[in-house]
Amino acid sequence: MNLDALNKVAVQIVAPGKGILAADESTGTIKKRFDSIGAQSTEDSRRDYREMLFRTTSAMENNISGVILYDETIRQNAKDGTPLVKLITDAGSLPGIKVDGGAKELQFCEGEKITEGLDGLPARVAEYVKLGAKFAKWRAVIDMGRGGDRSIPSYTCIQTNAHALARYAAICQEGGLVPIVEPEILMDGDHDIDACAAATEWALKELYQQLYFNRVALEGTILKPNMVISGKLAKNRASVTEVAEKTVRILKASVPAAVPAVCFLSGGQSDEEATAHLSAMNAAFDLPWGLSFSYGRALQHAALNAWGGKEENEPAAQAAFAHRARMNGLAAKGEWTQALEKSAA
C-alpha cells in the first residue's frame, strides 16, 4: 500500500468547488430511470447516456473530480472508440468503481440488509486497477423502520455492515484503490431528524472502530455519509439550518480529522435541497475535512429528463447537467444561493 498515493487521490476528490458524479447505477436501477422517461435500456443506450455526461466539458473540467462507474461502464468505449475511462481522465477527473454486490436480506433481522461482495474482491480490485480505477465504493444500507417502530436499526445490522465496510476498505487499500465507505441511514420513513442523528452517530462510530480494528489507514479513505435529515414521511421537516448544524455536529463527534474527504450522498433529497444543505455546512462551519458531494440522482435528474432518450436533446441535457454541477461546485465552497440558482437556470 502506497499511503501517499492514496491520500493524494482522496485530497484531489475534494479540490475546491469539485465533487463526485455517482454514475454507478446497476443495470436494474438505470432501467427504472430510463423507463421513467420512456427510453429503452440497452448496453448502447446506457453507454450513450453516460458518454453524454462525460463529454459535458464545463461540468467535468470545473466541478467533477471523480466519477463512480459500474462494472459495465468501466469496460465500455464511446461511439468513436475512445474508452469512457479516457474521457474522464482527459477532463482531469478520476475514475472510480462500485465493487459491492448489493444489499441482501440480513438473516434473523427482518427488514434489514447486509451488503455482500467480499468473496473474490482482491482479484476484482486488481482488475479494476488495470482498467484505470483510482478509487472504489461500497454502500451499506441501514433502514430506520416505520410508524414509531424503533427496533431497527439493530446492533446486528450496524455492526455487520460496519465490519463488511472495513474488510472491503482494507482489501481496496492493499490493492491500490482509495475506498469510499458509505454507511447510509435511509431517508425513507417517518422518523424525525433526531432519530436520524442518533442512528448516524451510532453507525459512524461503529464504522471507525471497525476500520481501526482492520488496520485501514484513514488518510487514504473517503467517507460518503447521509446528511442528518428528517425522514421523507416525517410530519415536520427540519430546516436547512437545522440539517446543517446537526449534520456537522454528528460528523465532528464521530469522524476523525485524519479523514481527508467527506462527500455526501443525496439520499432522495431534491436537487436543490441537496445543494442548499451542502452549501450551508461549508458556509457556516470550520471543518477538519474537505466537505463535498457524491451525488447520483441529484446531479443527473434534470439532465435525464431533458435527454428523454433522444440524441437531438443532448445539448439541453448537457446544459442541465452543467448547471447542477456548477451549483454543487458552489455549494462545496459555501457560495451557493437561491439567487444564483434562479439566475443561472
Catalytic residues: 182, 224
- Compute CA distances 337 → 73, 286, 287, 329, whole Å: 34, 19, 20, 12
Dihedral pair phi/psi, residue 155, rounded to 5°:
-60, -40
Could you please report the per-residue DSSP string of 269-301? --HHHHHHHHHHHHHH---SSEEEEEESHHHHH
SS3 259: coil
The Cα 200–Cα 185 span in angstroms is 6
Q: Which helix (H) or strand (E) holds 165?
A: helix 155-175
Q: How far is it, in rounded angstroms, from Cα 52 to Cα 322?
A: 11
Would you call 124 exposed, middle or buried from its count of C-beta atoms within 10 A (0-12, 13-18, 19+)?
middle
Other CB atoms within a 10 A radius of the CB of residue 3 amount to 11
What is the Cα–Cα distance from 11 to 336, expressed in whole angstroms? 22
Amino acid in position 310: K
Q: Which residues contact 225 (CB under 8 A, 6 or more apart)?
A: 182, 183, 184, 200, 204, 251, 262, 264, 265
User: Whole-angstrom Cα distance, residue 278 to residue 75?
Assistant: 32
Q: Is 183 helix (H, G, I), strand (E, B) or coil?
A: strand
